[in-house]
Chains A and B, each alone.
Chain A
Amino acid sequence: MTLLVPRADEVDLRAPDDLGPRRRGLAGRSARWLLYAFLVAVFAIPLWSIVATALSGATIPPGRFVIIPDQLTLTNLVDTWTSERILRYFVNSLIVVGIGVPLQTMVSALAAYALSRRQFWAGSIVMLIFLCTMMMPEEVIAIPLYLVLSEMPPFNVSLLNTYAGMILPVVGWAFSIFVLTKFMNELPRELEEAARVDGATDFGYFWRVVLPCVRPALGVVTVFGFLMIWEQYLLPLIVAQDTEMFTLQIALLNLRQDDMIPMAVVMSAALLAMLPSVIVYLLLQRHFHAGITAGAVKG
């Protein structure tokens, strides 16, 4: 896949303001700022209303869009986040990401190392096979995967309603293998030869030299992997058999449909479901946009 963007030294960082009508002066500037305010209102304010509703002490009727918290209080938020039920869902999600993401990154890094070795003649064939799985997204294989997880041939054990059932199917991800392979291909040959001369084993070279060198790629892959697994819906939905095993994402629907649960509580749960992605994104924007612009996009 070719790069969508030229490398950093070729990019012109000036605003490409030749792309639109440029109106100087107060009228033009205020129009622009109005536009920015409008865009922020459309795309960001709805998400803010989740926060505002969660921080509201008054009873919020179902159709009300809260921008300023009605009776500002942390009680609903704290009570929801520490309630046994929500905590359980949150912990389930944490376990799935906490084990799934490192596993996925490590498995992908190991595979990418092999695929990036020049002497590995089967490399491109295997890579092609991995890329084929982009056409086998979880939705398409969900039903048979459900049956496989319930039987796990030939072990004859059921992984339904277990963390393993939610984690193992996502450990293999062609995207991360692809990105890591591309970065590992860039490593200079001399590095490998020097390591060989020093008598390093393949794994030693991999662990002590290659991994540190591709750290930005590891960052990208981890961020995307985290977001992908945190957002998972169909897989946890079919694996979980009772509500105890629900992840936070699939629990939200249950919470909302329960009429006994006030909006502030539902929104507190939604906030909890939303916070990790937002925090990860805000902190790691660099990695994020690097991943998107490197011609690699979520499959």
Chain B
Amino acid sequence: MDGTRLRRRARRRSTLTLWAFLLPALIAFAYFKFYPIGYGVWLSFHNVGIMGNHSWVGLKNFARAFDDTFLHAAFWHTVLYVVLGVTLSVLVGFGLALALAGQARHIRLVRTAVFLPAVVTVAVCAEVFRILYHPTPDGPLNWLLGLVNLGPFGFTSDPSTSMLSVIGMHVWKNAPYDMVVLLAAMTGVDRSLYESARVDGANWAARLWFITIPSIRFAFTIVITLGIIRSLRVFPEVYTLTGGGPARSSEVIMTYIYRVSFVDVDLGYASALSTLLFLLTVVITAATLLLRKERS
């Protein structure tokens, strides 16, 4: 055989080899990600029976979602969680980044300590906050608040504060993570910008507002975007801390879907809800990508 045919054979064999390299990942993704999504969408239009006995019900599950007041409550709780949770954790994270910037060893030690909540698993955080949120006047947080004359709160046992309590735990766990991302971005800001601003007589607040914040805008976008997308599908935080209660006051979309699937055992409806959640995630992801494209 001449050189060209040999080379072409070699290239084909090499491409085949590369597909072989991809195969495990392709199988894993196809079987455990893409197929379930498609299957879930298909199930949304059915009443899921035992032994694979599914009956077609068309849009009935979706129509039901429209009227489902429990779902609406869960949706708004989720929105609250996303808006408040992301805003607070980014703000607190930014504050932490400003306070703990620097390479001195003692500052790095404090940062390491502060970052621990981000590393610890959600289930463990819930155990910690279960204690902190103890509703009696001598529960830890209530005792601290009592020192400044703030009345004892029910936290997770009070329907009016349960969602806020979960958000509190969310901020505690996620602000350090945002701190690290924002801090990393801050180290890349050109020092000379600060120098010339000081020469021009700008005080620290002005330097912060006009130099720091605009320079790390990209990092802000990242933490906000990821925060939103992750918070939409929150599950273990709520499940372990309040279970969605009391009286569904802290129910979020995912805990509601879980309840519908495994307590009510209505997998058709649960699939429809999952499909809706998927669509919501896609829409928000696409929106944030488009917004970012517009900016740049």
Contacts and interface: CB of A to CB of B under 8 A. Distances in A.
B233 A137 contact: yes
Interface stretch (B67-75, B80-88, B102-110, B158-166): B102-110
Contact of A144 (B37, B99, B184): B37
Contact of B207 (A18, A110, A203): A18
Contact of A114 (B18, B126, B191, B258): B18
A136 B24 contact: no
B128 A20 contact: no
B35 interface: yes
B113 A44 contact: yes
Given A44-B114, A206-B21, A270-B124, A4 B132 contact: no
Interface string A219-247: 00000000100110110001000000000
Contacts of B270: 143
Main secondary structure of the interface of A (DSSP, over half): helix
A46 interface: yes
Given A19-B207, A115-B22, A143-B40, A4 B124 contact: no
Which of A40, A64, A141, A206 has its CB near the most chain B CB atoms (within 10 A)? A141
Q: How large is the interface on A (under 10, 10 to 19, 20 to 34, 35 or more residues)?
A: 35 or more
B218 A4 contact: yes
Main secondary structure of the interface of B (DSSP, over half): helix
B235 interface: yes
A206 B278 CA distance: 37
Contacts of B22: 110-111, 114-115, 126
Interface string A7-35: 00011111111111110000000000001
Contacts of A270: 123-124, 127
A249 interface: yes
Which of B37, B136, B254 has its CB near the most chain A CB atoms (within 10 A)? B37
B35 A4 contact: no
A297 interface: yes
Contact of B140 (A42, A65, A139, A141): A65
B120 interface: yes
Given A17-B102, A250-B123, A136 B235 contact: no
Which of B18, B48, B100, B106 has its CB near the most chain A CB atoms (within 10 A)? B18
Contacts of A281: 115-116, 119
Contacts of A273: 121, 123-124
B110 A63 contact: no
Given A19-B204, A43-B113, A168-B32, A136 B18 contact: no
B28 A274 contact: no
B219 A4 contact: yes
A4 B114 contact: no
A18 B187 contact: no
A50 B56 CA distance: 51
Interface in B1-48: 11, 14-15, 17-19, 21-22, 24-26, 28-29, 31-37, 39-40, 43, 48
Interface residues of B, number: 102
Contact of A266 (B19, B127, B198, B212): B127
A137 B29 CA distance: 12
A43 B117 contact: yes
A205 B104 CA distance: 42
Nearest to B279: A140
B90 interface: no
Nearest to A18: B194
B26 to A, nearest CB: 8
A278 B233 contact: no
Contact of B236 (A65, A113, A136, A234): A234
Given A4-B188, A270-B127, A147 B43 contact: yes
29 contacts: A16-B186, A17-B102, A18-B207, A20-B99, A20-B204, A43-B113, A44-B114, A46-B132, A64-B131, A114-B21, A115-B22, A133-B29, A135-B285, A140-B274, A140-B278, A141-B33, A141-B274, A144-B40, A147-B43, A147-B48, A231-B122, A234-B236, A252-B123, A256-B130, A274-B120, A274-B121, A277-B120, A292-B181, A298-B230
Given A43-B115, A63-B131, A202-B21, 11 more contacts: A4-B181, A6-B188, A10-B188, A39-B114, A44-B113, A62-B134, A113-B18, A148-B35, A233-B122, A277-B121, A297-B226
> Which 4 A-B pairs have CB atoms at the shortest separation, nearest pair first?
A63-B134, A172-B28, A15-B102, A144-B40
